[in-house]
Amino acid sequence: MTRADWEKSYARTESALGQAKIEAAPDLPRLEEVRVRFTGRKGELTELLKSLKDLSIEDRRELGPKAQGLKASFDAAVAARKTALEDQGDAVSLSDDAIDLTLPSLRAPRGRLHPLTTTLHEIARIFQLMGYSWAEGPHVEDERHNFTALNIPEDHPARDSHDTFYLRDLPLLLRTHTSTVQIRTMESQRPPLRVVCPGRVFRHEQLDATHSAVFLQVEGLVVDEGVGLADLKGHLQTFLQKLLGAATKTRFRPSYFPFTEPSTEVDVKCFFCPGTGCPSCKRTGWIEILGAGVVNPAVLKSVGYDERKWSGFAFGIGVERVAMLLHGVRDLRDFYTNDIRFLKQFDESLL
Amino acid sequence: MKVSYNWLKEHLALDISAAELSAHLLRLGFEVSEHRRLGPTFTGVVVGKVVSKAKHPNADKLSVCVVDDGAVKRTVVCGAPNVDAGQTVAYARPGAVLPGNFKIEGRKLRGVESEGMICSRSELGLPKDADGIWIMSEGPELGADVGSLLGPADDILEVEITANRPDALSHRGLARELAAYFREDLKPLGAGAAESAKSSFPVAVTDKDACPYYGARLIEGVSVGESPAWLKAKLETIGLRPINNVADITNYILHDVGQPLHAFDADKLAGSRIIVRRSKAGEKLTALDHKTYDLPEGLLVIADGNKPVALAGVMGGEDTAVTAATKRVLLEGAFFAPAEVRKSSQKTRLRSDSSYRFERGADPRAARTAADRATALILQLAGGTAARPAEAAAAASAARPRVRASAARINAVLGSNFEEEAVRRVLASIGDLRDEAGGFQFAAPTWRHDLSTVNDLAEEVGRFLSYDNVPYRMAPMSPRTARLTPVEVESRRVRARLAALGLFEAYNYDLLSEKTLAACRLPGDDGPRVSNPLSEDWAVLRPSLLPGLLKNAQYNLSRGADAVRFFELGKSYALRGKEVDETWRVAAVLLGPVLDSRWQAARSPRASFYDGKAILEDLLDGVGAVAWDKLSAPAAGRTPSDPLFHPANSLRALVNGTPVGTVGWLHPRVARAYDLEGEGAVVIDADLDWLAGRETTAARFREFSALPVSRRDLAVVLDRKTPYERVEAVVRGCRIEELQDVLLFDVYAGKNVPEGRISLAIRLTFGRADRTLTDAEIAKAVETITAALSRELGASLRG
């Protein structure tokens, strides 16, 4: 090929490129056709570049860059058009492919822990932080563990407040309090000890908004050297402030339980009213939250502890009552009805 | 116990309000659960007479009245339509204060000066009887204070007396406590009565431990009738119904000093004698409550010459009660042993104010003095003459036990730092305190039965000096590591798992009805029964947790729920000989769509057996080799919940031959009983005790191959009754070392699969740790497998 032929060929290609109107290619396939026509394996530009090799060195030096320049501008034009066409396509799909983002999520089914579980765990967790271990005992008990060892002999009027379910044909009963686990724990462990004993208890009582025949208690027991009412006050105030808030005010007033002496009922300042009285606190400004006391030495003696060396304190908390206060539940029976609409409202992640 | 504040003040001078008193009582351990105010809540209202009535010049609905209050006549503007001249009215003078702190002053009403107000009953805080002003009956003097016509003001306190404080179960008893607390003196009691030389009926006591003191005094010539107004009013303020003067006096003394007394009609006592003895078989007593009681043998009774006339310390008999016709009274004042009275009261289910006090412990010294006071009152109000009492007393009981203590020991019990002086002062105000080397000795008074140890004394000191003055102590006790029980650790894991799998935790009662047992096909022979159930719904301790969950499912479905996913952790019970076995179990019920999002129907199928199986497998993860057996297979063993399960479509998980859990359909009969037919309920029951006791080891990391694996999918067509388990067993039975996994990914029957056959699509994963497998090696392995399937199960490959 002569230089003149090559230059003729160059001019023809250049003009064909001009007519090809790359910037006006209507879509990606058409653009691709153009690209193949010029820079495909047998494309016009490809051929033009190939035919450079037939020219003399000098001509090649002169014409080579010219041809390369033509190709570079073609490539750039194709790339630019390609991006433009893709953007156009994206714009269409960005609007046409839009899904309804407001349809409900496909959430994995999520269950719930019962509010009494979470309340009980919260109570136990706080005591665990204070070094109390978890202890359990049977629901079906004998007189000794439920009454006698707890200094409630037969014919003691204190039994009146423990309306008891007895088992048919057996000398057994359903425990009326978790204090039974105090005895069981002390029978099986040497002092010192510090335990919480959560569990179900049973009272022969008609069900109403604030009474149940089956309910949950958390019993606590500490036996150590030199323990007195002051330790009880310290531990229980710490517990109540952790459970109900640091500003919780407590009141310890004398009471009576046969297995503790001295005994106390613990009230917290009502957190539904400014102490002026409301239905939640029966218009007293205080809410009764637990019973407690210094372990009666007679109880320590009944399990074979040396009551001159060891002393302790014990307490009992009604879990339903705490859950009702924490969650604003008004009827205790709701906890045992298992209405999904009720249970759904208690998300443990919120406690 | 109802306490009248005015009555209390008869025993102790108190110059604080009833509200302040309540606060002190609370600090002493006597909670006041109710405080009711009696009497007027207004002042300055007097009886007036409307002298004249004229129309108000400037208002149609008002009238201008002149009211005479006995001293002056004043002009009063009144708006009530029923006011008229000549009426006796309640007139609030200027300066009067009406309920709600409403002060009455002279003021102009529509141009006419009104000096005070004519009141309606509701304006005085009294129950309304008619509209308009209160038109009083004539009689009271003009100017008389209306408030005092209504009776004296009083505060009635409902005081909770704990079981250890029977001594406070009376006005004087409570006053005695307050006297010690305030360090004041009690007012003296009235004296006893003059007595003649005549003897009362002879008294014999057969068991002096049960009845350490019995006194009986004959009072002759009484006239029984209505009590005077003051006595009736007194009983009525504390909610008692007056009966007649003699009965009212015994009731009054009981609530005044706490000593129960009883009055017999002496002429109705056969043989004119009293015997305190044990009841004999077959004896009966018709008590004052008009009911006849069959007395079990051995109860302490008061008998005349023939038969029991009273259940000692509990209640007298109707036949021998004092009536309007009674002329001679035999007044009993006695002390009965607490356990005796309690036994009688419990055996007969008969309770009274008397038994309530005796069973808690009366004051043995009070019987005589209280009877003397009652005698004086009877003579005063009913007339007659009193004979010398006949008494039977046990030998003088030993001196009161003395408690050795010291301020230091009491402070140790309380953790307090009370001054020695203060501690002694408190105890001396309650009982008898004597010095002793290193401390003191304390003897309780005869009315206190609760003071026999150092801890008892510490409580007294704490009460009187206030629990508020005991510090809050967080003493550095030896640190302890808090531990959970294995069951609790496992319970938490199981609860967290099941909640994460979408189940709601339920709490059901431990007691079931016999009807429920039958509905659940539970035989119930081994269910422990309660001897005194609340109702038939609470008869049997549950042998299974499932009945409760089924009830919950039924309840929620009937209230519009379409999916139910519940679990419960709790105890099941079984009789074993003379004992009751308690087992921790976890149970669950699944029913209805699995997902809450229903709009992608394909993704939210209804819960099936396989969802339940997944949950049980999840609970059993990590326990080692689990064998699954049909519930009906003999090797599966028996568990109490079995009868609730569908016998064919239920599986039992066994570990080393121990049944640890069951999953399956509900037995159709049980489903029917709970309206769950066709709901496709799946139930699970597993042994939580076993799960808690299983051995777990920390997970060990195993190297895995970095080389790619090869997968081959097979569609195997075989008889549709072939359990999948066998297919997988045959595949694995080929013992191809490179076979890493077998995954079933489709089960199909229908078009292109012959009738009676089923197509299982299985994905086989092959690989080696040391090199990549060649196509030829894999093809050979697949061929081995298909040959085995064909040979052993008659399977063919689907094209």
Q: Is A123 contained in some domain? A: yes
Q: What is the DSSP string of A291-328?
A: EEEEEPHHHHHHTT--TTT-EEEEEEEEHHHHHHHHHT
- Pair A329, A268 in one domain: yes
Per CB-CB distance under 8 Å, the chain A contacts of B453 are: 261, 297-298
Same domain for A71 and A166, yes or no, is no
d(CA B348, CA B285): 10
A344 neighbourhood in chain B, CB within 8 Å: 504
- CATH number attached to the domain at B43-149: 2.40.50.140
pLDDT > 70 fraction of chain B, expressed in percent and rounded = 98
Q: What is the structure's pLDDT at B602?
A: 67
Is A288 within a domain? yes
Mutation target vs A (from B164, B409, B536, B565; most A CBs, 10 A cutoff)? B164
Check CB contact under 8 Å for B482 and A108.
no
Three-class SS of B29-62: CCEEEEEEEECCCCEEEEEEEEEEEEECCCCCCC
pTM metric for this prediction? 0.83
The tokens describing B744, both together, are 């079933």
- State percent of chain B over pLDDT 90: 70
In chain B, which segments carry CATH 3.50.40.10? 203-393
Of A5-19, A94-108, B297-311, minimum mean pLDDT range: A94-108
Residue A111 has its nearest CB partner, among B498, B552, B573, at: B498
Can you give the residue range of the structural domain that contains A251?
A: 115-350
Interface test with A, best of B344, B404, B413, B619 (most A CBs within 10 A): B413
C-alpha torsion A91→A97→A103→A104, nearest 10: -100
Contacts A265 to B, Cβ<8 Å: 31
- Nearest residue to B620 (alpha-carbon basis) of B653, B572, B652: B653
Q: For residue range B95-107, what is the model confidence (pLDDT) as tens digits? A: 899 887 888 888 8
Higher per-residue pLDDT: A224 or B602? A224
Q: Give yes or no for B475 touching A (CB within 8 A).
A: yes
Q: State the Cα–Cα distance between residues B687 and B690, nearest whole angstrom.
A: 5
Q: Is A266 inside any structural domain?
A: yes
Amino acid identity of residue A114, one-letter, is H
ipTM of this model?
Answer: 0.84
Kindly state whether residue A128 falls inside one of the protein's structural domains: yes
Judgement on whether residues A39 and A163 belong to the same structural domain of the protein:
no
Interchain contact, B528 vs A297, CB within 8 Å: no
Nearest chain A Cα distance for residue B664, angstroms: 21
Q: Return d(Cα B327, Cα B219) in angstroms, integer.
A: 9
pLDDT per residue as tens digits for the range B322-344: 999 999 999 999 999 999 999 99
Q: Where in chain B is the domain with CATH 3.30.70.380?
A: 710-797
Mean per-residue pLDDT, A196-206: 93
CATH of the domain at A313: 3.30.930.10
Is residue A349's pLDDT more than 70? no
Kindly determine whether residue A229 and residue B506, on different chains, have CB atoms separated by under 8 Å. Answer: no
Q: CA of B111, closest CA in chain A: separation in Å?
A: 43
Tokens of B308: 């029991």
Confidence of residue B58 (pLDDT cuts 50, 70, 90): confident
Average pLDDT estimate for B454-478: 91
Chain A interface mutation, best of B27, B343, B480, highest count of A Cβ atoms under 10 Å? B480
Output the average pLDDT for chain B.
Answer: 91
Same domain, A61 and A135: no
User: Using the beta-carbon criterion (under 8 Å), do B31 and A253 form an inter-chain contact?
Assistant: yes
Q: Any residues with CB less than 8 A from the CB of B311 and at least 6 apart, and which?
A: B285, B287, B293, B295, B299, B300, B301, B302, B344, B348, B350
Residue B88 pLDDT exceeds 50: yes
pLDDT over threshold 80, residue A350: no
Q: What is the CATH number of domain B203-393?
A: 3.50.40.10
d(CA A175, CA A203): 8
pLDDT above 90 (res B676): yes
Residue pair A336/A220 in contact by the 8 Å Cβ criterion: no
Would you state the pLDDT for residue B477?
Answer: 64
Mean pLDDT, residues A214-241 taken together: 95
The answer to whether residue A57 is domain-embedded is yes
Kindly determine whether residue B488 and residue A136, on different chains, have CB atoms separated by under 8 Å: yes
Kindly state the average pLDDT of the residues A76-96: 88
CA-to-CA dists, residue B796 to B53, B741, B744, B779, B781, angstroms = 117, 21, 16, 17, 16
Shared domain check, A184 and A83: no
Q: Say if residue A176 is in the same domain as residue A229.
A: yes
Mean pLDDT of A143-157: 87
Residues of chain B with CATH 3.30.56.10: 2-39+153-182, 402-464
The answer to whether position A173 is within a domain reads yes
Give the three-state DSSP class for B510: coil
Residue where a domain terminates, one of A96, A129, A155: A96
Q: Which CATH number does the domain B402-464 belong to among 2.30.30.220, 3.40.50.150, 3.30.465.10, 3.30.56.10?
A: 3.30.56.10
- Closest listed residue to residue A290, CA positions, set A343, A248, A327, A331: A248
Give tens-digit pLDDT for B750-780: 888 999 999 999 999 999 988 999 999 999 9
Contacts with B193 (C-beta within 8 Å, 6 or more apart), sequence order: B372, B375, B376, B378, B379, B386
- B710-797 is classed in which CATH architecture? 2-Layer Sandwich (3.30)
Q: Is the confidence at residue B158, as pLDDT, over 90?
A: yes
Q: Which fold, B2-39+153-182? A: Phenylalanyl-tRNA Synthetase; Chain B, domain 1 (3.30.56)
Q: Which residues between 306 and 345 in chain B have a beta carbon less than 8 angstroms from any beta carbon of chain A?
A: 338-339, 342-343
Out of A109, A213, A348, name the one closest to residue B596 (CB): A109
Give the list of residues 6+ apart from residue B768 with CB closer than 8 angstroms, or none: B705, B707, B737, B738
Q: What is the pLDDT of residue B59?
A: 86
Confidence of residue B799 (pLDDT cuts 50, 70, 90): low
- Judged by phi (left if over 0) then psi (alpha if -120 to 50, else beta), residue B282 lies in left
Contact criterion met (CB < 8 Å) for B504 and A228: no
Count of domains in chain A? 2
| Same domain? A180 vs A313 | yes
Q: Where are the alpha helices (DSSP H) in B28-145?
A: none
Closest CA to B546 of B674, B680, B658: B674
Q: Which band of pLDDT confidence, cut at 50, 70 and 90, is reported for residue A97?
A: confident
Residues of chain A with Cβ-Cβ distance to B28 below 8 Å are 254
Q: Residue A351 pLDDT > 70, yes or no?
A: no
Question: pLDDT per residue over B728-750, tens digit each?
Answer: 999 999 999 999 999 999 999 98
Q: What is the mean pLDDT of residues B472-478?
A: 77
**Three-class DSSP category at B124:** helix
When mean pLDDT is compared across A314-323, B141-150, B364-373, B663-672, the lowest value belongs to B141-150
Is residue A104, in this structure, part of any structural domain at all? no
Q: Which DSSP symbol is given to B269?
A: S
pLDDT for position B603: 64
A12 and A132 inside one domain: no
CA-nearest residue to B361 within chain A is A157
- Angle formed by the axes of helices A319-327 and A115-129, nearest 10°: 110
Question: CB-CB: which of B530, B561, B573 is closest to A340?
Answer: B561
- Which of B468, B500, B508 is opposite residue A336, by nearest beta carbon? B508
Same domain, A178 and A279: yes
Length of chain A (residues): 351
**Which member of A117, A169, A264 has the closest CB to residue B467?**
A264
Q: How far is CA B716 from CA A29, B260, B709, B791, in A?
A: 45, 93, 22, 13
Mean pLDDT of B429-446: 93
Specify whether A69 is located in the same domain as A148: no
In angstroms, what CA-CA distances link A97 with A90, A93, A159, B505, B600?
A: 10, 5, 75, 42, 19
| Predicted local distance difference test score (pLDDT) of residue B396 | 67
Q: Are residues A82 and A141 in the same domain?
A: no
Q: What digits encode the pLDDT tens for the residues B590-645? A: 998 877 667 776 666 788 999 999 999 999 988 888 899 998 888 878 899 999 99
Q: Which of A105, A159, A233 to mutate to test the interface with B (most CBs of B within 10 A)?
A: A233
Instruction: Judge whether B530 and A166 are in contact, CB under 8 Å.
Output: yes
Please indicate, yes or no, if residue A291 is contained in any of the structural domains: yes
Is pLDDT at B425 greater than 50 in this prediction? yes
Rounded average pLDDT over A18-37:
89
- Which of A85-94, A119-128, A193-202 is predicted least confidently? A85-94
Terminal C-alpha separation, chain A = 89
Specify the DSSP element, H or E, that contains A94: helix A57-96
**Residue at token pair 């005790």:** B689
Residues A137-166: what's their mean pLDDT? 87
Kindly state the average pLDDT of the residues A191-215.
92
Q: Enumerate the residues of chain B whose CB falls inside 8 A of the CB of residue A103.
A: 599
Is the Cβ–Cβ distance between B617 and B602 less than 8 Å?
no
Q: Which of B29, B567, B571 sits opposite A254 (nearest CB)?
A: B29
Q: Are residue A70 and residue A138 in the same domain, yes or no? A: no
Pick one of 3.40.50.720, 1.10.10.10, 1.10.3720.10, 3.30.930.10 as the CATH number of B486-693: 3.30.930.10
Q: Which residues of A touch B508 (CB under 8 A)?
A: 336, 338
Type of residue found at B518:
A
Cα–Cα–Cα angle for A266, A271, A272, rounded to 5 degrees: 125
Predicted pLDDT at B398: 58
Contact list, B596 vs chain A (CB under 8 Å): 107, 109
